[in-house]
């Protein structure tokens, strides 16, 4: 009889595979004592059997048992083979299909008999509970460290900090502060990344070029504001306030909140997530089919066109006269506005209070789960519901903060200020002033010259 040997260990910290090597030696000896032939050794090194991860060798083992490549399996112990009941049941189903051999180094178990299956199920259930208890203890310890503002332990060095994860790296901190200021001034992530690349500023990690997704993640990180996060979310204390970390912040709180408001503003994704720095109104023009039009170059001149993948693909308009028309209207609008003292702006305290209550409710739920007072199914269902409410409230606050960081010049001198701004800054100002520019169908018989009656500016 040709049987498979299966070995697994969850953590191989030193990379020597010593744990699975000991298992394979014992398994080989067991197979020899049984008088069987060892067909192959299936090894999942440094792979958990409790978490929802795919074990490649375990899957190969099941496939070979089903197709008859091997006639049974030998393992060091049942918990090496499965720590979740559903994985054991997948194996038992194969033993129902045809006679298969089974043996462990630790106990005499036969999966072809009711008693053997009962014993295996009992052992895997105990192993599953042990893994669950360990996961709870680890999660609780991590949460406790986070609530005290301490380091989580391990992990790569955060950008902006030195190897101790606490002391600020002056050069990297200066890069983050520059990026934050430029975001508040209306620059784009991709524009900043391109500039950093052209200046030869070292990237985070081993990447050769700056990446806008990575830069966005760094700027949004609560760590840079000296705040503690847990499972990727800002951690709130029992007093409803963010938990202060034990390290010095790179960004002051006001700057971080303003940058967060800008980067989480959904209007930045109005053109389907594309970043188009060459055209003023790309993503602002709304085609008659309702799709947002994007900029392009055609026959030596810029134009706006409806995309074929998200719209009708038929509408095209020359860019220069539309840009001039919208710029003129926006500048006239800004000249009529009075200078607003943004320092006196006050956020809607009702939203802030609701956010604090939602964060405290979520924190209490996590406490109940880590203490073992509620089941996993109840926790994850409730967590999803509470996080959805919290995210909606935060979106409302972000919109308010986004309005407070408005950099649009108003009153006298607006035209000089507009002329000195970059294209990304102009687009940022437009986002504060207008929602969209509605484009109306143009009859075939209409004159080719620009006519403003085919456009309507929708103001904020």
Q: What is the residue-wise DSSP string for 444-457?
A: TTS-SS--GGGEEE
Look at residue 375 in the predicted model and tell me its pLDDT. 81
pLDDT at 68 over 60: yes
The pLDDT of 145-170, averaged and rounded, is 72
When comparing pLDDT for 110 and 151, which is higher?
110
Residues 6+ apart with CB under 8 A from 390: 355, 358, 359, 362
Q: How confident is the model at residue 37 (pLDDT cuts 50, 70, 90)?
A: very high
Q: Which CATH architecture has domain 170-263?
A: Alpha-Beta Complex (3.90)
pLDDT at 18 over 70: no
Q: How confident is the model at residue 38 (pLDDT cuts 50, 70, 90)?
A: very high
Lowest mean pLDDT, pick from 202-206, 213-217, 229-233, 327-331: 229-233
Look at residue 345 in the predicted model and tell me its pLDDT. 44
The pLDDT of 135-157, averaged and rounded, is 55
pLDDT at 16 over 50: no
Q: How confident is the model at residue 147 (pLDDT cuts 50, 70, 90)?
A: low
Q: Under DSSP, is residue 155 helix (H, G, I), strand (E, B) or coil?
A: coil
Look at residue 366 in the predicted model and tell me its pLDDT. 80
Lowest mean pLDDT, pick from 72-76, 219-223, 260-264: 260-264
Look at residue 165 in the predicted model and tell me its pLDDT. 76
DSSP string, 43-88: EEET--SSSS---HHHHHHHHHHHHTS-SEEEES-HHHH-SSHHHH
Look at residue 41 in the predicted model and tell me its pLDDT. 93
Look at residue 404 in the predicted model and tell me its pLDDT. 52
Look at residue 225 in the predicted model and tell me its pLDDT. 86
pLDDT at 346 over 60: no
| pLDDT tens digits along 437-446 | 999 999 888 8
Q: Under DSSP, is residue 435 helix (H, G, I), strand (E, B) or coil?
A: strand
The pLDDT of 202-223, averaged and rounded, is 88
Q: How confident is the model at residue 276 (pLDDT cuts 50, 70, 90)?
A: very low
Look at residue 266 in the predicted model and tell me its pLDDT. 60
Q: Which CATH architecture has domain 2-135?
A: 3-Layer(aba) Sandwich (3.40)
User: To 10 degrees, the CA torsion angle through 408, 411, 416, 420?
Assistant: -10
pLDDT at 45 over 70: yes
| pLDDT tens digits along 394-437 | 767 665 655 554 455 555 678 888 888 878 778 878 888 899 99
Can you point out the beta strands (E) in 235-340?
A: 285-286, 294-298, 301-305, 316-318
């Amino acid at each position: 009889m040709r049987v498979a040997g299966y070995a697994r260990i969850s953590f191989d910290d030193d990379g020597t595979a010593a744990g699975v090597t000991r298992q394979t030696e014992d398994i080989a000896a067991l197979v020899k004592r049984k008088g069987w032939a060892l067909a192959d050794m299936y090894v999942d090194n440094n792979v958990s059997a409790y978490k929802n991860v795919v074990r490649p060798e375990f899957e190969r083992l099941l496939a070979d048992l089903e197709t008859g490549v091997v006639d049974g399996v030998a393992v060091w112990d049942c918990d090496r083979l499965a720590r979740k009941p559903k994985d054991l049941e997948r194996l038992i189903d194969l033993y129902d299909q045809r006679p298969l051999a089974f043996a462990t180094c630790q106990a005499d178990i036969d999966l072809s008999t009711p008693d053997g299956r009962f014993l295996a199920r009992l052992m895997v259930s105990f192993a599953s509970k042990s893994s669950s208890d360990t996961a709870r203890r680890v999660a609780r310890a991590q949460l406790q460290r986070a609530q005290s503002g301490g380091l989580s332990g391990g992990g790569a060095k955060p950008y902006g900090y030195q190897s101790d994860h606490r002391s600020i790296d002056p050069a990297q901190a200066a890069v983050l502060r520059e990026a934050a200021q430029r975001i508040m001034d209306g620059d784009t992530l991709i524009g900043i990344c391109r500039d950093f690349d052209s200046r030869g500023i070292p990237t985070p990690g081993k990447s050769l070029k700056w990446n806008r997704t990575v830069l966005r993640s760094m700027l949004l990180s609560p760590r840079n504001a000296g705040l503690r996060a847990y499972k990727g979310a800002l951690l709130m204390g029992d007093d409803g306030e963010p938990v202060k970390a034990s390290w010095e912040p790179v960004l002051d709180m006001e700057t971080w909140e303003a940058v967060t408001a800008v980067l989480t503003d959904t209007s930045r994704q109005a053109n389907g997530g594309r970043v188009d720095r060459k055209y003023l109104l790309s993503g602002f023009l709304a085609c008659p089919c309702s799709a947002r039009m994007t900029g392009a170059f055609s026959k030596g001149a810029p134009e706006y066109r409806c995309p074929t993948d998200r719209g009708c693909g038929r509408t095209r308009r020359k860019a220069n006269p539309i840009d001039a028309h919208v710029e003129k209207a926006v500048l006239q609008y800004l000249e009529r506005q009075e200078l607003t003292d943004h320092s006196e702006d006050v956020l809607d305290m009702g939203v802030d209070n609701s956010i604090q209550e939602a964060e405290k409710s979520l924190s209490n739920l996590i406490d109940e789960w880590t203490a073992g007072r509620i089941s996993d199914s109840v926790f994850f269902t409730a967590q999803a519901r509470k996080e959805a409410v919290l995210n909606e409230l935060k979106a409302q606050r972000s919109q308010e903060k986004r309005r407070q960081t408005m950099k649009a010049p108003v009153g006298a001198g607006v035209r000089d200020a507009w002329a000195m701004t970059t294209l990304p800054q102009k687009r940022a100002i437009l986002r504060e002033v207008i929602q969209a520019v509605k484009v109306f169908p143009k009859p075939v018989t209409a004159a080719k010259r620009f006519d403003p009656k085919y456009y309507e500016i929708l103001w904020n």
